[in-house]
Structure 1
Amino acid sequence: MKISAADLFGKVRARKPLIHQITNFVTVNDCANATLAIGGSPVMTSSPKEVEEMVNLADALVLNFGTIDDKALEAMEIAGKAANANNIPVILDPVGVGATSYRTEKVAELLKKVTFQIIRGNASEILRLMGGDIVTRGVDSGELQISNAELAACAANKLNSVIVVSGAKDAVSDGKNTSIIHNGNLLLTNVTGTGCMATALIGTFSGVTDDFYSAAVAGISTMSISGELAAAKLQKDEGTGTFRVRLIDAISRMDKEIWLNEVKINEEVPN
């Protein structure tokens, strides 16, 4: 799997997949820039009147619940169904699910209407998607009595998707195989949108393969490694603003060799 994930960097640079994103208006620019930095081509169309036509041109579709409303939901349902009909992978970022009854109910409705190949969220969000009784404070993850790896594996089986659980240790699971990624830096939690950017990266890798497990590993680990590399470049008088810029720089420089040299990953495989 590690080699499979590593090989995706060259494929993205060569193919420049078109990634359609109906996403969070707070982070839409950073999501587009992260997609460009890794080698993809972003399109951020969100009007219900054109998303079906646009998604049919895309290599992957990312749906982000960060600033959800009725219009965005309509567009997501239209685009998601069109993507499913045309075998275009769909990636869900259930931002803030559990914070309000509206977004919790609406994501449950969308899960019944659209098939998602990959779902990425923090532990609280993923548990809530599974029906767990937890209230999410904004987009922050609460303390849970289950590891991210265990949660990812359980959720993958229940939701029938590759699951990415973000946290101090990111976990990716397809229900049979699970990877734990030990990269990252605390500064990633102090910049708005790094989770959304990670989902955009996952979507970009998904646009060049049908191995969605490897795509998820490549995407989430790229963000975590880039956070480490960006933090290491900071001077003593530089802070989160400079870190944000250096983060995009690090993503833009990421390739197979850097990734293999920097990634810290444990792979759990079935007996």
Structure 2
Amino acid sequence: MSLFKIRQKNPLIHCITNDVVTNFTANGLLAIGASPVMSDEPLDVEDMTSIANALLINIGTLNKHSVEAMFLAGKKANKLNIPVVLDPVGAGATKYRKEVTENLLKEIKFDLIRCNAGELAAIAGIQWQAKGVDSGEGEMDILSVTKEVAKKYKTIVAVSGKEDIVTDGEKADFVSGGHEWMTQVTGTGCLLSAICAGALSLEGDSYENILNVLMDYKKVAEFASKEKYLGSFQVEILNGLHQISRGEAI
């Protein structure tokens, strides 16, 4: 239902995201009726954020230029009460990524942290063997840690995996379904973060809107998996998003 509501609102989503996924993210937002804009120029981002309905900060391909833009845009969004999503891609992979993530969380109030288990561990300071920007391997009580992070930063946290977890630090929900091919197409998680930004721009309960998006996204993955080839799977993700956001069964 949240995807349908996003189409009705047609929110402008400002995405400071990584170079690998810009096109797919923009097309995914367009597929659900949102309006994407991608700007990471420090001289431009404050003005762009000011007219946006939500902001996504994705640290996938960091550089000094984009990091400066992230802080400027995030602080402007906070000042104007515009919702902000953090996607801490590969937060535990390098010292620099971890430092940037920690500083973003210190200086900007995020309405949602959308991550995988490895990124969650990095934020929580738990030992984890990251594999680049992939989730990697390690051991932790994911639900407990997710709640702790949500409470610490006073935000909603959504952790993607075979079974997604979403919590505000008190209540928590699990979302099952989906398909393993979502991990084999670059940008699917990044797109989900952008869509969640769209959900946060809606009226009503933010937690429920995020939960509904996660449920719909699992359905889209199952719909797309009917295709035989991985390349077609990526296209079918867009088709599935387009259909479900129009209220059509998939």
CA contact (8 A) 1:202 1:218 kept: no
Give, in angstroms, the shift of residue 257 of structure 1: 5.5
The equivalences for 1:152-163 within 5 A come to 152-163=146-157
1:148 to 1:225, Cα distance in 2 relative to 1, 3 A? farther
1:83 aligns with 2:77: yes
Stretches of structure 2 that go unaligned for 5 or more consecutive residues are none
Indicate the SS of the match to 1:61.
Answer: strand
Residue 194 (structure 2) pairs with residue 200 (structure 1): yes
8 Å Cα contact 2:120/2:159 also seen in 1: yes
Partner secondary structure for residue 157 of structure 2: strand
The corresponding residue for 2:231 is 241
Task: Tell me, in whole angstroms, the C-alpha distance in 1 between the residues paired with 2:111 and 2:158.
Answer: 11
Q: Does 1:124 align with 2:146?
A: no
Q: Which runs of 4+ in 1 moved over 4 A?
A: 256-259
- Is contact 2:12–2:54 with CA below 8 Å preserved after alignment? yes
Please give the residue correspondences for 1:1-271 in structure 2 after superposition, counting only pairs within 5 Å. Answer: 6=1, 8-209=2-203, 211-232=205-226, 234=227, 238-255=228-245
Give the partner amino acid of 1:193.
Answer: G
Alignment partners' CA distance in 1, 2:42 and 2:216? 32
Tell me the distance in 1 between the aligned counterparts of 2:7 and 2:186: 26
Partners of 1:39 and 1:14 in 2: how far apart?
7
RMSD, aligned CA: 1.7
The residue identity in structure 1 corresponding to 2:143 is A
SS across alignment from 2:225: helix
For residues 179-214 of structure 1, give each alpha carbon's deviation from its aligned partner in whole angstroms, at most 9, with x where no partner exists: 100021011111011110110111111112363212
Change (3 A) 1:193 1:9: closer
- Per-residue deviation at 1:165? 0.5
- The one-letter amino acid paired with 1:145 is E
Look up the equivalent residue of 1:22 and give its one-letter code: I
CA contact (8 A) 1:199 1:219 kept: no
Residue deviations 1:106-162, cap 9 Å, x none? Answer: 111111111100001101101211222324211211334335433322221122210
Q: Which runs of 5+ in 1 are unaligned?
A: 1-5, 263-271
Look up the equivalent residue of 1:208 and give its one-letter code.
L
> How far, CA to CA, are the matches of 1:128 and 1:11 in structure 2?
33
Residue 39 of structure 1 and its aligned partner are, at CA, apart by: 1.6
Q: Quote the residue 1:266 is aligned against.
A: none
Other structure's SS at 1:228 match: helix
Percent identity at matched positions?
Answer: 38
- Cα offset for 1:11? 2.5
Query: For the residues of structure 2 that align with 1:123 and 1:189, how far apart are their CA atoms?
Result: 13
Question: Hey, what's the Cα distance between the residues in 1 that align with 2:204 and 2:80?
Answer: 13
Q: Which amino acid is 1:153 matched to?
A: K
Tell me how far apart the structure 2 counterparts of residues 136 and 221 of structure 1 sit (CA, whole Å): 26
1:32 alignment partner AA: A
1:205-263 Cα distance to aligned partner (Å, 9 max, x none):
1112363212321333332211100112x1xxx4111110011100111148668xx8x
* 1:93/1:120 contact within 8 Å kept: yes
